Structure formats: structure tokens, C-alpha cells
Amino acid sequence: MKKWPKWLKAVAIVLGSAALLAIAVLIFVNAYISKSKPVTEGKLSVPVLEEEVSVVRDAKGVPHIRAASDADLYRAQGFVQAQDRLFQMDLARRQASGRLAEVVGEAAVPSDKLFRTFSLRQAAADSESGYGEDAREVLGWFAEGVNAFIDHAKEDGKLPYEFRLLGYEPEEWTPVDSLTIGKFMAYDLGGNWNALAFRHWAVNEYDGGKMKELFIRYPENAPSILEANRENPVAIAGAFDASLIPPEHNGSNNWVVSGDKTASGKPLLADDPHLGLTTPSIWYEMHLQSPEQNVTGVIFGGIPGIILGHNENVAWGVTNVGPDVQDLYIEEQNPDNPAEFRWDGEWEQAAVRDEPIKVKDGDTIDFEVVTTRHGPIISDIMLPDTGTGGDLLSMQWTALEPTRELEAVMQMNKASDWDDFDRALRNFNAPAQNFVFASKDGTIAYRANGNIPIRKKGDGQLPVPGNSSEYGWEGYIPYEELPTAVNPDEGFIATANNQVIGDDYPYHITDFWAQPYRYERIAEVLEDGDSFTPEDMMDLQMDVKNLYAREFLDEMLGSLKSTGADGKYGKAVKLLEEWNGEDDKELGAPLIFHKWMRDLPRVMFEKAMPEDVYDLMPGKNHITDEMMRQAYAGKPGEWVTEYGGVDKWVSDSFERTMKGLSDEFGESTDKWKWGDYHQLVFPHPLGSASPIFEKLLSPPRTATSGSAVTVQAAGFKDDGSADHGASWRFVADLSDLTRSWHIVGPGQSGHMKSKWFHDQAEDWVAGDYHETRADGTAGGDELKLVPEGEK
């Protein structure tokens, strides 16, 4: 079960004291919270503006901003984002910068140490200097708008109520804050260091087949790297905080269909990025219009522009490529000078950066970040006090190099065709993303974009020696050789974090692709159909057909028959045998199947490795799936053989599943429902402070269909909380880009008193999309932002 990060628990501790709860009760019954509700009608003076700006919030709270210049457009965008999401923006820059302990307290120190060491803010600062003048102007205009709101809210006593509860005020917004949040998304979407750490442990724990079977693909051609990992063991067990590891396969679905297969004769595009489901949403939908651009879609709070969406000519969406972009190096430290590390027979000085960590109600903690030629030493935060014997781990990561994603976003927002968009993508380097594209001229296209390293030795599956120039990176895959498709004969392009290259592709991207089932279902539907409409795309985004069960269930039921378990659990077996293969919230079979699949790796591995190493283990079901495939093909590996065979393993796992379900839902199998366990949640970061806050700030748990392997993605924790999935759903019809269709659960606003706080939570479950107009006809609350002195 993925746990709350310690810093987030600390927020609850701070807010959960009797005194603060008493204050909170008083606050909730007086006018303070209502006073901080965003103003959405009338006029507001914004001193940084040069001319009046119109902000119309439509029926779903989507702000349509119309300005006479790009300068005022981005200033207004910053102001409006801050109106609805300032507290979220402030927490995001603090977490990414390693400055949460200043406002949360001691429990946030581990998180601060991690992000100080990962050096996201330093990388953002390094990136800023590489931006062109136009992009730096945009960052500056956006920051002016955010600061104008902060100043306005402070003067009128209307700062978001969360700041009062935590007892601090937001600092001035800077361009580096925006870029740091961008780097945080690279962290959330581009991590594989934990996989390397786990494999390092496995190489030193097991020999032969048992070791090999814990790899997605065993590196047969890297004996020197394997030997280096054995000769220089670094302690792994007991050293990791799993709550700080991003969810595995932060993924997404996207696809684009050519006009040959649509009712309109023009392309259709669909995208639904899969990230953590929270209150407020990680995404903020906006429509930005000036004489220079007309673009609509979503952006992360704290960043200017539109990162995903469409303009008047083109539409685009992304999924995560998931390449191996983080490498670990085993560094040999000088016992006489801890800031020196061996390199080609000589001791080389590392860079040392002081990073004192201020702690609320505590002493400032002295902390240093040591950076070798490869990257920061992460052992101090990941492997404390484990007696590594002088060998430490450093991390090289593409996102720590200067990159210019914001320039790419600015260019994408104004692109008129594939050539424009393709040029823009050259600057979108981290995180690596699968971009799908469509234009009004009928072009559909795809590129797996980003900086993906080329290694001198090895393929990024294990840590490598840091003391030799024989290892390391020698550049990135050339842009022109990244996986690309334009107007393919199939008439569609789709990705779902699946393998996007063939065996003949000359470069290594990763061996750890997502399970193929979402992609296979999307392709199955798009191959078979024609005359598609936007409604068909929305229906496909809500599809709950489970192809995982299609591959394995019959053989797994055969294992039950071979051991006699089918007779003991006849009713449950019958449910599975008669199941239509859909993860429908009203059915019992999905509940049994998914709990069963989750129990397979537990039964196989939980006694074989420490709990924290198990949590660190990447691709648990990837590994057990392959073990089952081989065993059912008559080639059981060492793990399965040692357990007693595939039938015993699968049946024992089923026994465990049935006991757990009976304890939780009773003995009446016919009353079990997937939705009684699998329930959508949008947790607020302050909701765990008390039952009162939870009720007020987080929408109620709601039964939902889908799962982590269906197109309607809804990944779940061990308690059934579906907290990971389509953080935004989007469909565009290139025959009419004056409108598009969206769901941003649970809603647009971050303010609990707003009518747009949770109004899309039920829409998420039901698949009720709202239409966003991009032609200036959107109606709703209108707020006019005027320069200082105008009335």
C-alpha cells in the first residue's frame, strides 16, 4: 500500500492539534473562508496590466482570458491561476525546492533533503539562463500576474484560507518557481533510479535463475557491470521511504484517428494523462486568446501557457514514454577527503553546495549536496547509516541538465501545422513524452520526444562503476532518429505507455514498458471501426474491457481445477467463468480477479525479501506475469519450481484472496461488487487532518468502474482507493476546433466555497464531458481586470 508522504502527514499533525481544530471550527463558521473565495464577476484593478483584460468563467469554471497583447495575456493568466490555485502552487514550488519544513515542520525534512539532493531548483535556475528573450519575457509577465494577486489578497485580507491555517504567507513568485514546478513533473514522470537500486540488491542476494527472473530483461552482455555490482555492494534494505517514489507507470492513453476513419473526414484526437487524482486537480483548464494566439487546454498550476490541448489549427496530447533517463553510479569516496571521488585512477574534487534546511518551530539543519561529474550523491538521503564502506551512489539524470520545455510550449501554442509543431518539440527534452498530433489539413503524426541517453556500456538496468571513463553517457538519441510516424497506413496512432519500438530499433529506450492491455484494447477498437465521431472517442476513454483477464484467466482457473480449489470456492469460480471481461463496478468478478492478481507477487516474494525492498521492486506483475507465461508454456523458472509449481502458486494466491475478501465483504459471494471496494477518491492534502476536514475538503468516495489495465484507467491502493487515473480527459474534432470536450476531476477551483470545487467528481465516474468553446462565445461569470487607475 502506498503511504502518504511524511511531509503530508505533518500537515495533518499541525492542523490536527486541539487548538488548531478549535480555530478551524471558528473559521468555518465565520466569514473568513468565504472572504477568500475568488472574485469572478465585476472589476478588479491589476496594476501590472497595460490594457483591460476580460476573464469569462464558463459553466464549469474554465477561465476564458481575452487580452489585447501576449504580455497582458500571461499577466492575467498568472493572476487567474493564483485566484483559484495559489495554495496548490505554493506547496508545489516548496516541495520541488525542498522547502516544506519551513511551513510544515520536522516531518517534512526527509522530503526536503530528497528534493534538495535531486537539485530540481538548481536545474531550473540553470535552465532559465538558457532560455531565449521571448520565453524569459513570458515567465516574467506570468510572475507579475501571480504577484499582483498575492499583493491584492494580502492588502484585502483575502489570501486562501490554507495559509492562515498553516500560519504563513506566500513569498513573491519568480520565473524560477515556474521552471522548478516543470522540473518536478520530470521527476514525477521520469524516474527509474529505484529499479536500479532494487536490481543491485537482487544481484547481491541471488544467483542464477532466481536473480535473472527478477529483471524485466536480464543483461546477458554486461558481465563487467554485473561483477562491479557484486564487488561493490551498497546496502539497500532498510534504507528507502517508498512514499517518496512516484507511482509506477505514471502513464496515459492517447490516440489520433485520420479523416479516412471519421464521420467528418477530418482527424479526431483523444488524450487522458494518468496521474494522481487529488483535490484540487493537478491540471487547470484555461482558454487563452490574444491577437497572436487562440489556444485552449490544460496547464499545471504555476506555469504559463497551455501544455496540452489545441489552437485554431492543431491539437496534441501526450503519454509518458518512460525511458531509462536516471542512471546510478557506484562512486569510490576518498577516505581522507569525503568530497573527492576516484576517476580514472585519480581523486577528483566534487562540487559541494550548502543547503541549510529551515524547520518550523525547530533548529535549522545543516545539509550539503555533493555532486560528482555524474550527478548528486544520493546515498546521504536514500541510504543513511547503512555502512556502505566508502562506496556511494550518485545519480545522472536528463532533467538535471538545462532544458527549455517552456519555449516548446510557447511554440506549440502558436503552431499552425506539423512542421511548426515538430520544430517546437526539439526543445521539449524532459520528461520524454509520446506526442500525438493532428491538424486541420488532415495530418496525423507521432513522436517519442525527449532526451534519451546513449550509454558507452550497459543499458541502464544496473548501477555502473563511477570511477572509470569507460562508463557514462555519450550523448542522446538524435532527434531525427526518435520513434516517429506521420500519416501511417493504419489510419490511426495510439500509445498507452506500451512498447513503441521494434526489435530492430538501434537504440535502447527501456525494457520496462507498461503492460500492453490498454494499448491493445484501444488498437482493437480503432482497427475495427470507421466513421468515428467525438462521442466514440469519449466512449473509448470510458471503456472497461479487461484484456489482462483475457490473457490469463482461463489458465488460472485451470490451476484451481488441478488442485481442487475450484470445488471449495465454486460460487467464486462460477462468477469468473461467466464474467463478460469488463471491470464493471456492479460485478463481483473484477473484485476477485484484481485482488487475485495483486496477491500473486505477494505470495511469491513477501517472505523472500524485506518489506521495503518489496515496495521498491519495479514491475511486480510484469515479473509474475512472465513467470506464469513461462510456467504455463511448460518452462517454469526457478522461483515457480521452488514454490511447488504454477498450479500450487496460483491456487495458494487464490486461497489468500478469497480469505481476504470473505473477511472484508462476507461469505455471500453473490453480493460482492467491484464498486464496493474500488472507489474513486480525490484526496485534499489537508483532508487527513481530521474527519471534519476530510468531509469538507475531499469529495465522498464513489464506486467506479475501470482499473489500472482498462482504457478507463483507475489504479487503486490496497484499501481500494482509486486515486490514480485520468487526471484530465480530452477529445478534439479537427473539423471544428471552435470547441472540444473535457473532464477535469474533481473541478477547476481550489477553494472549498466555490461551485467549481468538486462539480466534476461525479462527471469523472459517469463520463459526462463538458464542452469548452474557443470562439469567444463562452458565457458565464465575467471579471474585467483593469490597469491601475481605471474604473
User: Which residues does the annotation mark as catalytic?
Assistant: 252
Residue with C-alpha cell 468515428? 532
Dist CA 269 CA 255 (whole Å): 6
Inter-residue contact 663 to 609 (CB < 8 Å): no
- Enter the DSSP assignment of 308: E
Is the CB of residue 549 less than 8 Å from the CB of residue 556? no
Task: Label residue 385 exposed, middle or buried (CB < 10 Å: 0-12, 13-18, 19+).
Answer: exposed
Instruction: Of 730, 716, 717, give the one whose Cα is nearest residue 771.
Output: 730
Alpha carbon distance 758, 773 (integer Å):
21
Q: Is 324 annotated as a binding residue?
A: yes
Of the candidates 251, 254, 711, 713, which has an alpha carbon nearest to the alpha carbon of residue 438? 254
564-567 contacts: CB < 8 A, separation 24 or more? 565/651, 565/654, 565/655
Report residue 383 as a C-alpha cell: 541510504
* 88 contact partners, CB below 8 Å, separation of at least 6: 280, 301, 750
397 DSSP β-pair partners? 326
In this structure, what DSSP letter does residue 2 have? P
Environment class of residue 85 by beta-carbon count within 10 Å: exposed (0-12), middle (13-18) or buried (19+)? Answer: buried
Q: Are 756 and 744 in contact (CB under 8 A)?
A: no
Q: CA 187, CA 193: separation in Å to the nearest integer?
A: 11
Q: How far apart are CA 382 and CA 399, in angstroms?
A: 19
In this structure, the number of other CB atoms found within 10 A of the CB of residue 156 comes to 11
Grid coordinates belonging to 426: 526539439
Evaluate whether 313 touches 415 at the Cβ level (below 8 Å): yes
The position carrying cell 532560455 is: 131
Alpha helix segments (H runs only) across 389-428: 405-413, 418-425
User: Rounded to an integer, what distance in angstroms lies between the CA atom of residue 691 and that of residue 698?
Assistant: 10
Q: Looking at 586-711, list the stretches that DSSP marks H as alpha helix, in order from N- to C-terminal side.
A: 589-605, 611-616, 620-632, 638-643, 646-665, 674-677, 691-697
Q: Quote the CA–CA distance of 341 and 380 in Å, as a whole number.
A: 15
- Cα separation, 81 vs 367, in Å, equals 34
- Alpha-carbon distances, residue 629 vs 213, 378, 475, 634 (angstroms): 12, 37, 37, 9
Pair 674, 583: CB distance under 8 Å: yes
Look at residues 741, 759, 772 and name the one whose alpha carbon lies nearest to residue 682. 759
Strand partners, 445: 437, 486
CA dihedral of 618, 624, 626, 631, whole degrees rounded to 10: 160
Nearest to 15 by CA among 483, 518, 676, 685: 685
Distant-in-sequence contacts of 470-475, Cβ < 8 A, 24+ apart: 471/329, 472/374, 472/396, 473/327, 473/396
Query: How far is the C-alpha of 737 from the C-alpha of 739, rounded, in Å?
Result: 5
Pairwise CA distance, residues 715 & 245, whole Å: 16
Angle between helices 193-205 and 223-231 (to 10 degrees): 80
60: closest CA among 785, 747, 787, 614? 747
Binding residues for Ca(2+): 324, 327
Binding residues: 324, 327
